[in-house]
Amino acid sequence: MDGNRRWAKERGLQTLEGHKAGAEKIFELAQWVNAAGVEEVILYAFSTENWNRAEEEVGYLMRLAEELFTRELLRFKDAGVRLRFIGDLSRASDRIQNVIKNAEEETKTGTHGTLAFAFSYGGRPEILAAVNNLLKEGKESVDEAGFSDALWSAGLLDPDLILRTGGERRLSNFLPWQSIYSELFFTDTKWPDLTKEEFDAVLLEYQERERRHGK
């Protein structure tokens, strides 16, 4: 969900206003994917590298996350969305960790799809964490299914489609294990400006692509 800060700068607003607009866009997206029949969505909300940003910005993002999953939690529940979080959540404060656990618990019976947030997430740290956990369990070898079950994303489907907004043409440590056969889409549109029309156009192009998976 790239482009929040640049979106704000273009409008003469503070960076934090861009993040606020980006958070509101999530609720729009939830409606779009539900209408399209998409069962799972993973949003790259906060990377392991994002912890290195300015203290003020990181603090604001944590407060925004807390608000999103406490005061706004009813909006997810009313939509029937099941929330899931993947990442190194131990790096977040106890307060945020409790908010996350509560959000997952309160929405676990949702039947209108899963909205997963990659929060404090990095693909390489995820793989290393899985390897180290398997070693602690005494595993000397493991197959692909077993390794997938050791990842933070265990239980989620590998993404069929990955869309990155904001003009960058790379995955930036997002789901390297899970994305090997994902169809990739990149748009210059900044995340707060993404429209349903553009989203639907991406889905239409995805349907027209031939996916052979090496066959």
pLDDT in tens, 7-17: 999 999 998 89
Domains, the chain, in order of start with CATH, read 4-207 (3.40.1180.10)
Write out the H or E segment, with its range, that includes residue 77: helix 73-78
Strands of the chain, DSSP E: 40-47, 82-86, 114-121, 161-164, 183-186
Helix (H, G, I), strand (E, B) or coil at 109: coil
**pTM across the whole model:** 0.94
Q: In this predicted model, what pLDDT tens digit does every residue of 162-203 receive, in sequence order?
A: 999 999 999 999 999 999 999 999 999 999 999 999 999 999
Average model confidence (pLDDT) across the chain: 94
What's the average model confidence in pLDDT over 95-100?
A: 96
- b/e string for 36-71 if b means 16 or more Cβ within 10 A? eebebbbebbbbbebeebeeeeeebbbebbbebbee
Report which DSSP code applies to 151: S
**Is there a contact between 65 and 99 (Cβ–Cβ < 8 Å)?**
yes
Angstrom distance (rounded) from CA 167 to CA 81? 29
**Is there a contact between 103 and 45 (Cβ–Cβ < 8 Å)?**
no
Residue 37 main-chain phi, psi, to 5 deg: 80, 20
Q: In this predicted model, what pLDDT tens digit does every residue of 105-134 receive, in sequence order?
A: 999 999 999 999 999 999 999 999 999 999
Active site residues per annotation: 2, 50
Residue tagged 């990095």 (tokens): 122
Helices (H) and strands (E) in the chain, counts: 8, 5
C-alpha angle 173-129-164 in degrees, rounded to nearest 5: 20
